[in-house]
DNA sequence: GGTGTTACTGAATGGTTGGTAGATAATCAT
DNA sequence: ATGATTATCTACCAACCATTCAGTAACACC
């Protein structure tokens, strides 16, 4: 099955790159890295196999580009909030900022499900130490964990465990939501879960740093 | 790379089947169904490609056998507890039985990590509707969810959400534990998490069915 | 020790994979 | 128009994939 049945279109390289990355993230989110083929991505972009590899020389290079895009979007969305929430690292974070940050963590999924699915899928697939994204996700998870720890410090007696629980909950809920037999509202369920795990966050009393 | 360099060994079919299933679960737990090859499994079992398929005629048939084994072990471990915990469905479950059941859910992982890894891996990979295990895991998750709902009813004001949170937590914690950069004690963390999500379960007051 | 059953092998199947080389056509600068 | 650049194509490759089939050797029983 070749592409020549259609007229050859020559796309602006910037646009094509963006298209490849977007569709690639969609495909890997669906089938994982192992279940994903260069051919399938090329077809979906309306170009040939070789045409695709003209931009990204190999399957691994494609994966790296997708991961970079994930990191870029993450940073773009979270960085300002994290900066405000963690601040100098000493001062306790303002509760409203923590709440905003936690909300954002969930809305990332509802606002771009394809990227969320991509992250969930690869994070699981890359448990395998020989997976090309293993190290990447290892460091990503470590960073996320540390971020959560400093976020909940002062709001819970055991920040390590609470942080771990929050990370676990977000992943687990997202996975349920993606399978979505009888779909549910992810943001509402996430808020309920955070309330259960971190009740101090929503208490009205002004003696905030107790517990 | 063929097998003939060694003397041909003829194994008891029952033993060989068990070996194939065990090693297969190990391999899929590592690389997922898509990243797993019939050749690799055969090699690891010390037989040829064709020798493997003499037992299970196709890659899909292998997967079904592995899933059946997962279900078998699950049932063997959980069924007596579930029966005691749910009972007739009307009577509220005794708290000690619920606690025991929740503990078992976690110790499954620590006691046979390979099977746990297999379940986690496939559950994620099978989010894809075209994955051969998609339907299987859909019904499995539904059943687990319903089980948890009837388990926590009477112990929490919102059984649906609490059940969802417990399922999410178990999956999320297990995934963190499997990646295990700085490993942690899964059973302890699970107990902490359950305590946070379901505090009524561990309260000493005897007016158990409140909240 | 011969015979039957069956666990297993080697070799070959056709299809798919990621990747390469050289040709070609669309666009741009002049 | 013309020529240079480059995005994309066709054609091809070797490796790998799951699966098939005709044999072969290990064992059980007599």
Ranges of each domain in chain B: 3-209
Strand D reaches within 7 A of the B13 CB: no
pLDDT band with cut points at 50, 70 and 90 for residue A5: low
Exposure string over B12-46, b if 16+ CB within 10 A, otherwise e: eeeebeebbbebbbbbbbbbbbbbbebebbbbebe
pLDDT reading at A168 higher than 80: yes
pLDDT band with cut points at 50, 70 and 90 for residue B34: very high
What distance in Å separates residue A166's CA from the closest CA in chain B?
A: 9
More confident residue, B86 or B196: B196
- With beta carbons under 8 A apart, name residues in chain B contacting A158: 192
CB contact under 8 Å between B181 and A30, yes or no, is: no
* Percentage, residues of chain A above pLDDT 70: 90
Q: Specify the CATH architecture of the domain B3-209.
A: Orthogonal Bundle (1.10)
Are the CB atoms for B33 and B122 separated by under 8 Å?
yes
pLDDT band with cut points at 50, 70 and 90 for residue B126: very high
Predicted confidence at residue B106, as pLDDT, reads 97
Q: pTM for this one?
A: 0.93
Predicted confidence at residue A191, as pLDDT, reads 98
CB contact under 8 Å between B176 and A164, yes or no, is: yes
pLDDT reading at B68 higher than 90: yes
For A186-197, write each residue's pLDDT tens digit. Answer: 999 999 999 999
* Percentage, residues of chain A above pLDDT 90: 80
Round to a whole number and report the distance in Å from the CA of A129 to the C1' of D4. 47
Predicted confidence at residue A211, as pLDDT, reads 38
pLDDT reading at B96 higher than 50: yes
Beta bridge partners of A156: A153
Predicted confidence at residue B209, as pLDDT, reads 47
* HSE, side-chain direction, 13 A CA sphere, residue A194: 24
């Amino acid at each position: 099955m070749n592409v020549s049945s259609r007229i050859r279109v020559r796309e602006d390289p910037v646009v094509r790159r963006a298209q490849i990355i977007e569709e690639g993230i969609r495909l890997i989110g669906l089938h994982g890295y192992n279940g994903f083929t260069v051919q399938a991505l090329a077809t979906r972009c309306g170009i040939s196999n070789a045409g695709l590899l003209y931009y990204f020389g190999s399957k691994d290079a494609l994966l790296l580009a997708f991961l970079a895009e994930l990191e870029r979007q993450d940073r773009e969305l979270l960085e300002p909030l994290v900066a405000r929430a963690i601040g100098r690292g000493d001062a306790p974070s303002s509760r409203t900022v923590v709440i905003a940050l936690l909300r954002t963590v969930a809305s990332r999924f509802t606002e771009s499900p394809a990227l969320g699915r991509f992250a969930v899928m690869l994070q699981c697939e890359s448990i395998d130490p020989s997976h090309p994204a293993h190290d990447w996700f290892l460091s990503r998870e470590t960073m996320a964990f540390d971020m959560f720890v400093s976020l909940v410090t002062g709001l819970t007696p055991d920040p390590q465990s609470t942080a771990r629980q929050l990370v676990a909950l977000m992943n687990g809920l997202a996975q349920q939501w993606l399978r979505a037999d009888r779909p549910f509202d992810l943001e509402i369920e996430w808020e309920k879960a955070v309330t259960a795990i971190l009740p101090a966050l929503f208490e009205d009393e002004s003696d905030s740093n107790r517990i």
